[in-house]
Structure 1
């Protein structure tokens, strides 16, 4: 099933008695309360994305049965799992540090789950061997975890989670322990394996690239609540919080639209090409911002704000400037452009953005 097909069929959320995941996770921890609803159909890959402390790992542990629910419900393929012990749930988990048994070979690590579920040794090993072959690890079946690279250990952990044929696969920051070079390769491999997985997969991550590449749908959690959900493209195009805007690299403002003009608080206005009325968000990329030392007179840009350089940092092959003033924003410039403008913290500048480079949408 292609990502487009999977996204289309995600729209029909499963209900009681249906196949797939239907969860409302409520966990009280004194000052912190998790209250998150999750639905997914078989074949869906859902990413829980959010900052540290948002409740992502608590949600994953609740799905696994490692944290009891204080409210809500958890159904998988129509079966209520609220009181089902973790070892009896049709759930596979890939932990952040993989937690492979150091004294067992890769083959026996993968065979461990089926053996615990009652499979004979020969049957369990045959299933493990098949999975390791599918993961491209047939030549490493006899290796113990310390002899495996980070990417190989991640694939063994995934094979072990799949060996019990789970109806729900949970992945807790599955790429966090890898270096940048290994991460690139393993991410591509993991995407292929998840695309072939026929049940529900839930991925927990704080890395937007992992989420965008691996998942069909994003559920963004902040302070224990869902603040936005949708396809990766929808979330990237229409962020609804500063956290999401920062992740996808956009300047984001909330204001009130009157036609093509958006009033941001009691201060500045932003001119857009969209004709809207009422509460809206306005977003534009840092690369859409042009800086000038003097007020421009020949610019065709409809938006012009007087600002001050608050900070400068290297951002890829560009310089990112943080600006304060009439409108707080970030701007990306080439290194020669920044040098030509003589940009330093405290320097006054004029920032311009063309209306066509802004994007306004209902709040």
Structure 2
């Protein structure tokens, strides 16, 4: 990310969000340049929405700072912040048309009725909603309502756009289409956008950078590709679909915290993570002989579930792991909970990296 400076003021977002409420403690640092799309990703209760509300001014900071384009916002009322918000349920005014919903923000900023409606019409046109300008929210589909809410947020010309689970209210088919449209609009947005989601696909597709929050703290941040290749917590590994272990490396051998060793192609020393996809695991009912796989563990099937067009087997035993196999392979192995199996993984299909 390249810093853009006007005088000595850093453009974009510079925030440390500290919020203490009872036993919950949020302490998250966020920086972003104009044009950046940052996704806050994490499990329920991690603090994502609290962080978003703090950015919007809806939850006061206990400590820290919040600067946007060099200006401090901690003491600025929410309605006076150059911030646009798209809430999960959109919160459109039910008695107003789509046009007047979008015009509401510019009107609050002091624009004349004619000017506000002209700006609203322009945004509805950009969203492909000109034909729905006179429709009230109840007459709009979920995807159309989401675009009206986005237009309403953008019509105020915000320097910070906040999106709270913007696709969560959509069905799967609509979500695919709207995600593509939202990606295009975010790519054109010239200020900072912060997206809160628990959906890894939304985060990977829409964001330039991911900030993963667990228990109110940032546990990992980076590009989607980097985080997908180098998960550092079980939560992240589960999101990106990898088996993840922490251990100590001596050359090509990693002794895991669980006890067994994993052979890798990387030559490392010291604390490391080792990851491999469930598809890299091959299962056998009998101990294999003559296998080229360097890793072999005795396990037991603890559960089976459909995963896309495959079966995912959860395994316990020497090394807890997940394995993906076809329905035909699962039937041939006669897999069922409690069944003993041998799991193998080739060293070339593992990936080790410093912890």
TM bin (shorter chain): over 0.9
Asked if 1:265 corresponds to 2:263, the answer is no
> In structure 2, what is the Cα distance between the partners aligned to 1:205 and 1:142?
31
Partner of residue 7, structure 1: none
Structure 1 residues 14 and 227: alpha-carbon distance in aligned structure 2, compared to 1, 3 A threshold: farther
Match of 1:128 in 2: 120
Matched, 1:23 2:28: no
Report the counterpart of residue 74 of structure 1 in structure 2: 66
Superposed counterparts of 1:148-159, under 5 Å: 148-159=140-151
Alpha-carbon distance, 1:184 to partner: 0.3
How far apart, CA to CA, are the structure 1 residues paired with 2:144 and 2:190?
23
Q: What is the match of residue 327 of structure 2?
A: 335
Pick from 169, 172, 197 the counterpart of residue 161 of structure 2: 169
Q: Secondary structure at the match of 1:291?
A: strand
2:135 — aligned with what? 143
The answer on whether the counterparts of 2:3 and 2:10 sit within 8 Å (CA) in structure 1 is no
Could you say what secondary structure the match of 1:104 adopts? coil
* Structure 2 unpaired stretches of 5+: none
Task: Answer yes or no: is the 8 Å Cα contact 2:303–2:314 preserved in 1.
Answer: yes
What is the distance in 1 between the residues matched to 2:109 and 2:81? Answer: 11
Specify every segment of 5 or more residues in structure 1 that has no aligned partner in the other structure, as ranges. Answer: 1-9
Residue 107 in 1 paired to residue 73 in 2?
no
Deviation at 1:30, TM superposition (A): 1.3
Q: After superposition, give the CA deviation of every residue in 1:69-101 in whole Å (9 maximum; x if it has no partner).
A: 000000000000011000000000000000000
**Contact kept in structure 2, 1:106 and 1:144, CA below 8 Å:** yes
Matches within 5 A, 1:148-297: 148-265=140-257, 267-297=259-289
- 2:110 maps to which of 102, 111, 118: 118
Matched, 1:346 2:325: no
1:13: Cα distance to partner? 8.9
* 2:315 aligns with one of 314, 317, 323: 323
C-alpha distance in 2, partners of 1:147/1:18? 43
Q: Note the C-alpha offset of 1:14.
A: 8.1
* Residue 312 of structure 2 is aligned to residue 301 of structure 1: no
Q: Distance between the aligned counterparts of 1:56 and 1:47, measured in 2?
A: 10
CA apart distance, 1:114: 0.4
Q: Distance in 1 between matches of 2:133 and 2:76?
A: 33
Deviations 1:192-228 (A, max 9, x none): 0000000000000000000000000000000000000
Could you say if the C-alpha distance between residues 14 and 218 of structure 1 is closer, same or farther in structure 2, counting changes exceeding 3 Å? farther
1:86 paired with 2:78, answer: yes
Q: TM-score, normalized by length of structure 2? A: 0.98
Q: Are the counterparts in 2 of residues 93 and 170 from structure 1 also a CA contact under 8 Å?
A: yes
What is the rounded CA distance, in whole Å, between the counterparts of 1:357 and 1:267 in structure 2? Answer: 20
Secondary structure at the aligned position of 1:210 is classed as helix
Note if contact 1:307-1:325 (Cα within 8 Å) is conserved in structure 2.
Answer: yes
- Residue 17 (structure 1) shift: 1.9
**TM-score, structure 1 normalization:** 0.96
Closer/same/farther in 2, CA of residues 32 and 14 from structure 1, 3 Å limit? farther
Number of equivalenced pairs: 354
Tell me, yes or no, if the aligned pair for 1:13 and 1:40 is still in contact at 8 Å. Answer: no
Change (3 A) 1:11 1:269: farther
SS for the counterpart of 2:9 is coil
Cα shift at 1:271:
0.2
Quote the offset at 1:298 in angstroms.
1.4
